[in-house]
Amino acid sequence: MDRVGIVGAGNMGESILKALLKRGVEKNDLCFIEAKKERALYIANTYGIDELHDVAELTKRSDKVVLAVKPQDAGKVLPEIGSSFTDSNILISIMAGITISKIISLAGRSIRVVRMMPNVAIKVNQGVIGITASADVSADEFSAVRSLFSSAGLIVDVDEGHMDAITSLGASSPAFFLLFLEGMIDAGVHIGLTRDKAKAISIQVVRGVIEMLEQEQMHPALMREMITSPGGTTISGLATLEAKAFKGNIIKAIEKASLRAKELSS
Ligand SMILES: NC(=O)c1ccc[n+]([C@@H]2O[C@H](COP(=O)([O-])OP(=O)(O)OC[C@H]3O[C@@H](n4cnc5c(N)ncnc54)[C@H](OP(=O)(O)O)[C@@H]3O)[C@@H](O)[C@H]2O)c1
C-alpha cells in the first residue's frame, strides 16, 4: 500500500489527508510536517497520524510526498526535497502556478513529479482535480496516483499546458458561480422574501438543476429551453441577462482568469 507524507497541513493539506483516509490509506502509512505548531497539534490529534519535523525523515517514510505549502514557500522546501529524494519517491505538487520544470529547477536535481490542481470542493469529496506528470513517471505509477486521489472528486488528465485552464475553470469558477448565487439571494430579498428563505430556495434550485442534469443526462441548453415558454416569465429574465452579454461575460471571466494563471506561472 502507498505510504504518503504531506508537507504543509493547511486547508488543502488537510482536505488531501481526509481524501487519502477515505480512500483507505492506513494511518500508519501517513505522516506530515506542518510549520504552525497549533495546526500540527490539531492535525495529529484529529486524525491520529504522525507529525514529523524534517523533510528527510518524511521522505524516508514515504513513497509519495504531497507538497501543499503556498507557492512562495516552494523555494525553501524544494531544495530539501531534492537532496533527500531517492529514485523511488514521487513528488505530488498542488501548488498553483509552479510548473514541473520550475519544481525540478528549485529541487536542484531531476525528481519525478506529478502536478495536480484541485479546487476547494475536495474538502467534501466533490472536487475537480487536473493532473499531469513529468515524463519519467510511468503510466502505472501515474494511474496509481490518480487512484489514490479518486475519492476527492473528478480527476481530469491534462497536458501541463492546460493547467491554467483547470485553474480558471476548475478552481476559480466556483467564486464566479458563488457571485451568481449571491445575486439570486439578494434578488429574492429585493422582491420581498426573507434572506433565509431566499438562500434556501436559491441553493435548492441549484441542487435540483444539477441532480436533474445528471439523472436525465441532459445538456444544460436543452433543460433551459424546456423551462422557457413563449412570452413567459423565464424568457423575459433571460432577455435581460443576455442584453448585457451574460454568457459572453462568463466566457471572458474564465478566459481572463486563465490568462492570469499563465502570467503568474511564468
Ligand atoms: N485553497 C485552494 O482552493 C487551492 C486550490 C488549488 C491549489 N491550492 C494550492 O494549495 C497550496 C496550499 O494552499 P492552502 O490554502 O492549503 O494554504 P495554507 O492553508 O496556508 O497551508 C499551507 C500550510 O503549510 C505550512 N508551511 C509553510 N511552509 C512549510 C514548511 N516548510 N514545512 C511544513 N509546513 C509548511 C504553512 O504554515 P505557515 O502559514 O506558518 O507558513 C501552512 O499552515 C498552495 O500552494 C495553493 O496554491 C490551493
What is the reported pLDDT for 234?
97
Q: Give the per-residue pLDDT at 51.
A: 98
Distance 77 CA to ligand 1 centre (A): 12
pLDDT per position as a tens digit, 196-235:
999 999 999 999 999 999 999 999 999 999 999 999 999 9
Mean pLDDT of 239-249: 97
Would the CB of 40 count as within 6 Å of ligand 1?
Answer: no
Q: Which of 12, 98, 99 to mutate to test the pocket of ligand 1 (most atoms within 8 A of CB)?
A: 12
Q: Is the CB of 120 under 6 A from ligand 1?
A: yes
DSSP conformation letters of the chain:
---EEEE--SHHHHHHHHHHHHHT--GGGEEEE-SSHHHHHHHHHHH--EE-S-HHHHHHH-SEEEE-S-GGGHHHHHHHHHHH--TT-EEEE--TT--HHHHHHHHTS---EEEEEE-GGGGGT-EEEEEEE-TTS-HHHHHHHHHHTGGGEEEEE--GGGHHHHIIIIIIHHHHHHHHHHHHHHHHHHTT--HHHHHHHHHHHHHHHHHHHHHTT--HHHHHHHT--TTSHHHHHHHHHHHTTHHHHHHHHHHHHHHHHHHHH-
In CATH, the number for domain 4-157 is 3.40.50.720
Domain boundaries defined on the chain: 4-157, 167-265
Rg (CA), the chain: 22
CATH class of segment(s) 167-265:
mainly alpha
Query: Quick one: which atom of ligand 1 is closest to the CA of 7?
Result: 33
Q: What is the pLDDT of residues 42-90, one digit of tens each?
A: 999 999 999 999 999 999 999 999 999 999 999 999 999 999 999 999 9
pLDDT tens by residue, 93-122? 999 989 999 999 999 999 999 999 999 999
8 pocket-lining for ligand 1 (C-beta < 6 Å):
yes
